[in-house]
Amino acid sequence: MASDHTLVFAMPAYIPDNQSLPQPRVIMSCIVRRRYIQSEVGGGTALPPRASDGGFWYRAEYPSGPFVSHDRSPSSQSRAIVSSMLDDMRLPFPLDRLRWLDVSAGMHVTEKYLTRDELVSEIARATSHAVNDTCREGRKRTKMVVSIVHKVTISEHEMRARWRRLQWRILHSRILEEEERWRRLLSGQRSTLNLTRQEGAVTTPDRNTEGVLRIRVMRESVDQDRINFGAAHKSMIESLNKVTFEGDQGSNSSHCVICMEEVAIGGQLIRMDCSHKFHTDCIKTWLKVHPTCPLCRRPLSP
C-alpha cells in the first residue's frame, strides 16, 4: 500500500523593487509538485517527477499591511490571506499529513505532523518576517516562495502498474484523436467524388474507390504518427479469430485494405476485436510493428 505525506517550506526570494507603489505589496509564489518514491523493498530510489504528477505554479499578490503585524490569532488578516491562498490553489491531494521545513532554523523538519491551521500559522509567520525585513530596508515589494511537495512512497510493483495505466491512457487518447481525424479526412475525400444520378437514385463510389481512400488515409496517419507503442506479442496474434469470408451484401468479393487485393468467397481472414477483417499474412505483418487495428486504431487486447 502507498503511504504519503506533504512537505512544506517558505522562503523569501529576490524581486526588483517598485517605489511607485502606493503601498507595500507581497507576492506569494507557490510551487506544487508530487513526487513518487519507491519503498526500501524496491531499492529506495527516488523517481523523477513527471508532467502527469500534478505539478503546477500559483502566483498571487496581496497588500503587505496585514503581515507587518505579529498577530497570529485565528481571526488575523494574515492567516485569512494564507488560508484563502491554499483554498484557491485547489490542491489535488489533502492537506492532512503535513511536515513543516523551518528554513530559519537551518532546514529543520518538524517531528510531528501539523494540522492545516498550524501550517497556515507557519506560512504567515515566515511571510511576516520577510515583509518586516523588507520594510526596514525601505523596499515596497516582497516575494515569498512557498514549496509544497507531496511525497508518495510506493512499492516498485505498484509504481510499474501506475506507469502502465498512464501509458494506456495516453494510447487511448491518441487512438480517439486518430479516429476523429480519419473520419474527418475520409468524409472530406468522399465529398469531392462525383456522384451520378440515375433516374432519381444516387450511385455512391464503388467499393474499390472507398478502399483506396481508406488505405490512403491509413498510410498518411502512419506516416504522421511516428510514436511506436511496441509490437504485439506473438501469442496475442495467434489468438485472433480466423473466419471464412462468405460475401458482403451480395457481392462475390471484397478487399483487404492493407494489400488492396480481392478476397474471394471462402477465403480465410482474421477478424479483429473491432470486427474489421484482413488477410492473415497482412494483419500479422502489420501487428508486428503496430499493435492496433489499421482502420480504427483500436489496440489489440491481451
Using the 3D structure, point to which of 126, 154, 182 is the last residue of a domain.
Answer: 154
Predicted pLDDT at 147? 92
Q: What is the pLDDT of residues 66-118, one digit of tens each?
A: 999 877 787 889 999 999 999 988 888 888 889 998 887 777 888 788 999 99
Highest mean pLDDT among 53-62, 88-97, 156-165, 265-274: 88-97
Question: Is 297 part of a structural domain of the chain?
Answer: no
Please determine, for residue 210, whether its predicted confidence score (pLDDT) is greater than 80. no
Question: Is 298 part of a structural domain of the chain?
Answer: no
Please determine, for residue 204, whether its predicted confidence score (pLDDT) is greater than 50. no
Using the 3D structure, point to which of 154, 173, 195 is the last residue of a domain.
Answer: 154
How many domains does the structure of the chain reveal? 2
- Rounded to whole angstroms, the Cα distance separating 194 from 97 reads 68
Same structural domain for residues 10 and 116?
Answer: yes
Using the 3D structure, point to which of 154, 187, 209 is the last residue of a domain.
Answer: 154
Which residues make beta-bridge pairs with 38?
154
What does DSSP assign to residue 73? S
- Residue 297 falls in which region: left (phi positive, over 0), alpha (psi -120 to 50) or beta: left
Query: 252: pLDDT confidence band, cut at 50, 70 and 90?
Result: very low
Same structural domain for residues 147 and 169?
Answer: no
| This prediction's pTM | 0.50
| Nearest partner of 242 among 207, 211, 284, 208, judged by Cα | 284
- Rounded to whole angstroms, the Cα distance separating 289 from 92 reads 38
| Nearest partner of 142 among 88, 78, 62, judged by Cα | 62
Q: What is the pLDDT of residues 216-242, one digit of tens each?
A: 656 555 555 444 444 555 666 777 778
Query: 52: pLDDT confidence band, cut at 50, 70 and 90?
Result: very low
- H-helix or E-strand spanning residue 158: helix 156-191
Same structural domain for residues 169 and 143?
Answer: no
Q: What is the pLDDT of residues 107-155, one digit of tens each?
A: 788 878 899 999 999 999 999 999 999 989 999 999 999 999 988 877 7
Please give the residue range of the domain that contains residue 75: 3-154
Same structural domain for residues 20 and 124?
Answer: yes
Same structural domain for residues 16 and 150?
Answer: yes
Measured from the Cβ of residue 293, the count of other Cβ atoms closer than 10 Å reads: 21
